[in-house]
Amino acid sequence: MTFNSTLATLSLALAASAAAAPLLKETLATGFRDPMEIAIAPDGDFYVVEREGRVLRVNPNTGGTFVIGEIAVQALKSTDSKSNYAREDGLLGIALDPDFAKNQRFFAFYSAPDVSAHRLSRFTIKNGKIDPASELKMLEIPTERENRVCHDGGSVKFGPDGMLYVSIGDNTNPFESSGVAPIDDRADRTERDAQRSAGNTNDLRGKIIRIKPTESGYEIPPGNLFPKGTEGTRPEIYVMGCRNPFRISIDPKTKTLYWGEVGPDGRDDTDKGPRGHDEVNQAKVAGNFGWPFVIADNKPYPIVDFAANTIGKMTNPAAPENHGQRNTGLKILPPAQPALIWYPYAKSDEFPGMGEGGRNAMAGPVFYYDPSKKYNILGKEDDRTLLTYEWMRGKIFKTKLDANEKVEKLEVFMEKLVHPMDLEMDNDGSLVLLEYGSDWYFNNNGSVSRLRPDDGNKPPTITIKAAANSYSVDNAADPEGGKITVTWYLTEGVTERKLGAGSTVTIPEGNFQEIRAVATDDKGSVGFARIPLASSEELPTLGLELGKIKGKPGFGDTVNFKVNSDRMPDAGQIKVRTRYIPPTGHDSGGPELPEEAMKIATASQCLACHQVNSGIVGPSYLDVALRYSGKADARTHLREKLKNGGVGVWGEVPMPAQAALKPEDADKLIEAILALSAGMTETRGTQKGSIRLTPDFGAEPGGAWEISAEAPGYAPAKTRIPAK
């Protein structure tokens, strides 16, 4: 695992709504690779699963992070990042056995590498590591993986009664249905038809199942949607009619199930159905929540004949019908249940507190005020408050529920988070937050943090430095001026060794992965600093050879190049760029948005989908700048994109309309983005060729040319040569 070598604990008081006290965010561990779900053990340790298969344990008291094993999974890999196969597969969820303290068992939901199926398995940890021989394969759900299918769900949770809930997505390609219901009944469109999955009572996809684990497998508890033995149904189904039920939570007192439902992309109501909405759903009892036949508060879709492109019968939410040719279950479905909360890309009339922008709904825990706990993140007046969160918008919301568990009030609780992925209530009353990281795939900056009320005692800060085999404190400070004690730890496999306290420490002989300093103030708050001792796994590296150059190249000259590697990427994925760096060194670290433009992008939630020099959901700003460089209509075109949104230019994921962005702010942002390409040129899709350096753009001569080669899944190659 890669860690920052400086301060790993960032404490930040984040103001919530005016009615709530500020929260303190204490980052406990960083460097996770696409983390998916977190579980809290009785002893206080955290267990985290990553998309590509690693399982990790985190000691929140020392900041220690330990890889306890890896589950072989089918998943999208960085070495083939453009693949349309298994786009969202991987290790998706984890839950600890209710008796974990004694039996060390956990349950994982993952995409099996040996069959095209999702698998629920039970594993046992022995001597701190996963015992591969302990795997009990409890359930397999056949899936399609071709043709850009997605929506896997994958959240795993135990209820207070020991029932195990697992969410499964509809396993459907949503990109060819115009943002409405994917009910394409044509013979060759299997992966585009959610009637076969979410709308099928005889299929576990597009469902939340509820089972009771046993020593050798599982039993069906009473109260599921279909009694065992009902023809054309699966008895494991608790909730059906789900599109992508991504993260779930169970009320510890009422056993009510909550989940966030990631909805379709339709921006406007059309004759083929309503615009897309995300949902937060609530199931007090088993039920059908309607997808792909209804959405939101039971807004119905008509049955579309995709072959003839004609509109057929409108769905009756009280008795949805599934006559799809791939439906193997009941034709008349249970009544559709409306969502608890629903919202589109635009402002919501019903729930204005949700704001507007990208959508990816998640459901977290229900808060109950408890004066016996160390922390209460909300006041007594907020007893029975549902916490939800938004992966795209980077926010946590609080929804006050009345005595009947209906929405009483909804407002923002915390914001400016980096793709919140899971949110769990710890035993002391604090919240444990798992942040996925900044990118859509292949992160190495996922993190785990604790959220607690700001009691005025902020954690100490500490940095450390190395000299030969000794390590020492570089800087340590307590914000309140209190006394600090520094304790040193070494990570050694799946355990850690305490070295002692003091400002300097020497490492003994051994095979260690990390040295870590824990600063503790006189009130018990802690801060962490760490330095890796073992080299992390490295990506294959590209090489870049330049042709013979006579003298120093100047503006407009041509440079020949050749890209090489021990294992070459596909030539179509290679891009070669040149960039002029003035002799002052300005911009030597890479293009950046000016501060004013960055503030606009941050306030408008643009950074949830874009970064300056890396693609996330959408393209990087630099890619946009280079594509539109020199085009006369660039500003007009981009202004329309910001105002109305769009899809198809950079991929299938739509860009939300930024209708709330003031025209003058939009113009400032566009100018700043287009300015990123100043002094740059680019060529794509070739391993060998030539590239012309930028024409003179008024920069001071005598600087340097930076020439780089990049490809997904490879460490880039960069070189600099003097400029004329």
Q: Count the neighbouring beta carbons within 10 Å of the beta carbon of residue 77.
A: 15
Residue ranges of E strands in 478-574: 484-492, 495-501, 504-506, 514-521, 526-532, 543-546, 558-564
Report the pLDDT value the prediction gives residue 713, as an integer from 0 to 100.
79
3-state helix, strand, coil in the chain (%, to 5): 10, 40, 50
> Pairing between strand 287-288 and 237-240?
parallel
Which one of 532, 562, 587 terminates a domain? Answer: 532
Report the pLDDT value the prediction gives residue 718, as an integer from 0 to 100.
85
Task: Specify the CATH number for the domain of residue 593.
Answer: 1.10.760.10
Report the pLDDT value the prediction gives residue 5, as an integer from 0 to 100.
30
Residue ranges of E strands in 583-672: none
Residue 68 forms part of a structural domain: no
Tokens linked to 411: 């407002």
In sequence order, the 6+-apart residues with CB closer than 8 A to the CB of 133 are none
Distance CA 657, CA 673 (A): 17
Residue 319 forms part of a structural domain: yes
Tokens linked to 358: 């990208």
Task: Specify the CATH number for the domain of residue 223.
Answer: 2.120.10.30
Same domain for 617 and 518: no
pLDDT digits (tens, 9 = 90+) for 617-633: 678 888 888 888 888 88
Residue ranges of E strands in 539-600: 543-546, 558-564, 575-581
Strand partners, 59: 64
Same domain for 496 and 400: no
Same domain for 412 and 500: no
Confirm if 138 and 110 have CB atoms less than 8 A apart.
no
How buried is 517 (Cβ within 10 angstroms: 0-12 exposed, 13-18 middle, 19+ buried)? buried
Tokens linked to 182: 């994917």
Same domain for 557 and 509: no
Same domain for 518 and 449: no
Report the pLDDT value the prediction gives residue 623, as an integer from 0 to 100.
85
Confirm if 647 and 177 have CB atoms less than 8 A apart.
no
Prediction pTM value: 0.81
Residue 676 forms part of a structural domain: yes
Domain that holds residue 369: 147-453
Which one of 425, 453, 481 terminates a domain? Answer: 453
Same domain for 549 and 420: no
Spans in the chain with pLDDT lower than 50: 1-19, 585-586, 588
Same domain for 236 and 215: yes
Same domain for 657 and 525: no
Which one of 453, 477, 494 terminates a domain? Answer: 453
Report the pLDDT value the prediction gives residue 19, as an integer from 0 to 100.
43
Distance CA 256, CA 259 (A): 10
pLDDT digits (tens, 9 = 90+) for 601-613: 777 777 667 777 7
In sequence order, the 6+-apart residues with CB closer than 8 A to the CB of 557 are 692, 693, 724
Distance set, CA 60 to CA 26, 27, 113, 518, 525 (Å): 10, 9, 32, 11, 12
Distance CA 355, CA 18 (A): 16
Same domain for 471 and 447: no
Same domain for 311 and 251: yes
Same domain for 520 and 429: no
How many domains does the structure of the chain reveal? 3
Report the pLDDT value the prediction gives residue 622, as an integer from 0 to 100.
85
Residue 127 forms part of a structural domain: no
Same domain for 201 and 330: yes
Residue 124 forms part of a structural domain: no
Residue 682 forms part of a structural domain: yes
Residue 1 forms part of a structural domain: no
Residue 67 forms part of a structural domain: no
